[in-house]
Structure 1
Amino acid sequence: MRDSHFVHDTSFYNPSSSLHRQLQALLLQADIRIDGDRPWDMHFNAEGVLERISAYANLGLGEAYMDRSWDADKLDQFFFRLLRANLQKHSHPMTLLMQGLRNRYLNLQTYKRAWQVGEHHYDIGNDFYRAMLDARMTYTCGYWRNARNLDEAQEAKLDLICQKLHLKPGMRLLDIGCGWGSLMGFAAEHYGVSCVGITISKEQARWAEERYKGLPLEFRLQDYRQLNERFDCIASIGMFEHVGRKNHRTFMEVVHRCLPEQGLFLLHTIGRNHRHGAADPWIDKYIFPNGDLPSVGQIGDAVDNLFVTEDLHNFGADYDKTLMAWHRNFEAAWPDFSRQMGDRFYRMWRYYLLSCAGAFRARNVQLWQWVFSKEGLHGGYTRVAQ
């Protein structure tokens, strides 16, 4: 029996049409069937789904799902198979070309545009994020090696960062893109440091100031390009995805001028497997406007002659577990938000969380923690047991 919220109408499936046959042949490469009985199979609830996918690729697929035009009982499994089979290579070439040119030649993350993602995504409501995230409101990948639940995974990640930065009491930490202040609060409470955090989200800054009142923490509404002061060490956790390839070098130059000679910089970022990829058009439109995942090569270019790479750690598979935990919390809390946000938001958010979980499970995207120094630490970097 299928585990589904929906009743599927098979009348919209016409196996004799040319477009249906083409799609079915393509999906079979990923072991996905149209109107099959497995939880990752695809079911149509309205006409025109195939035409939307054919014309608009990923954007059409996502918008059709938001419109209730198709379903899969387990979206994470659907996307895992879709991406593991590399079916995105069959996407509409003009769609991919236009998205690629847009990312390559336009600076989508200028100072003025950089604030858009805060308003569009991070400011939708602290109550909503509190219901979905862990107790510290950590909106980045957890570290699940020895964790039994989301709270433990996020605290393990925060502790891992503090250890990698070699934090000691009295140090001053800068957090670029501090979110709701989880790293800053943890570092102050457990390592005795003071912290400055910058964010482009008014809601995040407001919540963090109240949550960590009494600790030596300062939260600023500020763009990273405005920074020009020294800190003992610097972290950026899940923010570099918003910087954009046109600004990677500028970002690293800002970090360089704010870091002392023996200071460490930890960069925690989602990354893509190749430098010429473009932002997913559905994610760009509905979730993270102007986002641009970096590649290893692009990060290497950005730090060239500025930093020494002391350590590189990939635990991207842990983002699958993190996203699935967020999804469980989201589903459990949804009755409290359904009237306010509506069915289309529900399907958009479900599609976001589960499609991303499938992408990390397929190893289509990665999660890296880089540790940099300016000139290489004397005697070498002491690596944390991972």
Structure 2
Amino acid sequence: MSESAKRFVLGQLQRTGVVLNGPNPWDPQVHNDRLWARLLRDGTLGLGESYMEGWWDAEALDQFLFRLVDASIQDAFPKDLAVMWSLARGRLLNLQRLRVTEVGEKHYDIGNDLYAAMLDRRMVYSCGYWQGADSLEAAQEAKLDLVCRKLDLKPGMHILDIGSGWGGFLHFAAERYGVSGVGVTVSKEQAALANERTAGLPVETRLLDYQALEGQFDRIISIGMFEHVGYKNYRAYFEKAASLLKPDGLMLLHTIGGHTSTTHGDPWSEKYIFPNGMLPSIAQIGKAIEGLFVMEDWHNFGADYDRTLMAWRDRFDAAWPTLAGEKYDERFRRMWRYYLSSFAAVFRARHLSLWQIVLSPRGVPGGYTSLR
């Protein structure tokens, strides 16, 4: 089995320009010959877990993974049990509603020190806008300002941020555009730090599921949260947003998107990074907003996520000497670098996109002006 598995995997690698134990920084160095059977049995879950356990290395991890993704090497592998289990769970269960707080507890609550070290000073945990930007700080500020301009924010408006994280957008919008607002998150650590960081501003962050929200808002923003909603809940999500938005309001949805409709996530990412994570497609979003919103603008700058993720990885690497310890061990370091590198690789290969979608309840009178 191991020899036939090795022949199969190496045969697929030949298509990628990768050389086993080769001299290039993207060439994998294999330390355990049990790797081949594990890859054939466990697919992407096995690839990620074997890296976490030190079975192989690649100096330029993102470049190695990019070559695998760009060649669509996964399509040549047989369906593994991890994928089949992920597919079955997605079809049979609605874990995004059964376990609303799980992603907060297992991802966003792992440590504000980690995120403060990795992210920009506002702790914005979503794709930056790199058009004209030369640093992570500049790219994130450009993204926040782009959102404010797309929503035509005016002083005195009352806004809602669904999935508001550490309060970075609310802080920015209140200071620069004179608005008040409410943010919601299912992460205890995010809520506590967000309210600490925005003290004195007319904004607040609530530890609350978005479905429990009440009120009316001039604008609704949701940045990097829709990936946790789940395909069974897309319609309910937009119905809730429609009920909260004033008739003359605007909503901006900022989300990672997939190019085909799916009903489950990636097994490795689901297990180690984003529990119950799932990426929407254009078709799924279109069906979910039908009859509720007019789509005013759809902007794709997914290539910018590659640069954002690599900036996060560089900052994580630089901060590692101060983070390393009992809380974050070597296995965590490898897991986190694999997470950032693999996501960067997928965006670099353009297998995923990043969309900003502007929606209105009735259509903007006279038309909406698209901004970039």
TM-score for both structures, normalised by structure 2: 0.97
Specify the alignment match of 2:205 in structure 1: 219
Cα offset, 1:103, TM superposition: 1.7
Q: Is the 8 A contact 1:103 1:292 kept in 2?
A: no
Residue aligning to 2:312: 326
**Per-residue deviation, residues 331-361 of structure 1 (Å, max 9, x unmatched):** 0000111113110000000000001111100
2:220 is paired with a residue whose SS is strand
Stretches of structure 1 that go unaligned for 5 or more consecutive residues are: 1-15
Cα deviation for residue 277 of structure 1 reads 6.0
- Give, in whole Å, the separation in 2 of the partners of 1:94 and 1:129: 33
Separation of aligned partners in 2, 1:317 and 1:237: 17
Deviations 1:144-170 (A, max 9, x none): 001010000000000000000110000
Structure 2 residue 367 is matched with structure 1 residue 374: no
Unaligned runs of 5+ in 2: none
Q: Which residue of 1 aligns with 2:325?
A: 339
> Structure 2 counterpart of 1:350, which letter?
R
Determine the C-alpha separation between the residues in 2 that align with 1:278 and 1:54. Answer: 20
* Identical aligned residues as a percent: 54
Paired residue for 1:247?
A: 233
On the 8 A contact 1:248/1:302 being kept in 2, the answer is yes
Whether the 8 Å CA contact 2:103–2:274 is kept in 1: the answer is yes
Residue 56 of structure 1 aligns to a residue in which SS? helix
Q: 1: distance between equivalents of 2:331 and 2:235?
A: 38
State whether structure 2 residue 346 is matched by structure 1 residue 359: yes
Distance of 2:138 and 2:123 partners within structure 1: 13
Name which of 311, 323, 345 aligns with 2:297: 311
CA distance in 1, matches of 2:53, 2:77: 21
What is the letter of the counterpart of residue 325 of structure 1?
A
Q: Is the 8 A contact 1:58 1:91 kept in 2?
A: no
Secondary structure at the aligned position of 1:311 is classed as strand
* Range with bigger deviation, 30-39 or 165-174: 30-39
Using the TM superposition, give the Cα deviation of residue 94 of structure 1 relative to its aligned residue in structure 2, in angstroms. Answer: 4.0
Deviation per CA, 1:122-155: give whole Å up to 9, x if none: 0111111101000100000000001010000000
Cα distance in 2, alignment partners of residues 187 and 353 from structure 1 = 28
For 2:91, the equivalent position in structure 1 comes to 104
Equivalent residue number for residue 158 of structure 2:
172
**8 Å CA contact retained: 1:228, 1:254:** no
Q: 2:171 aligns with which of 185, 189, 193?
A: 185
CA RMSD for the aligned pairs?
A: 1.2
What corresponds to 2:30 in structure 1? 44
Alpha-carbon separation, structure 2, partners of 1:332 and 1:324: 12
**How much has 1:97 moved relative to structure 2?**
3.3
Q: Distance in 2 between matches of 1:313 and 1:30?
A: 31
User: Structure 2: how far apart are the matches of 1:100 and 1:298?
Assistant: 17
Cα 1:37/1:278, change in 2 over 3 Å: farther
**Deviation of residue 100 (structure 1)?**
2.2
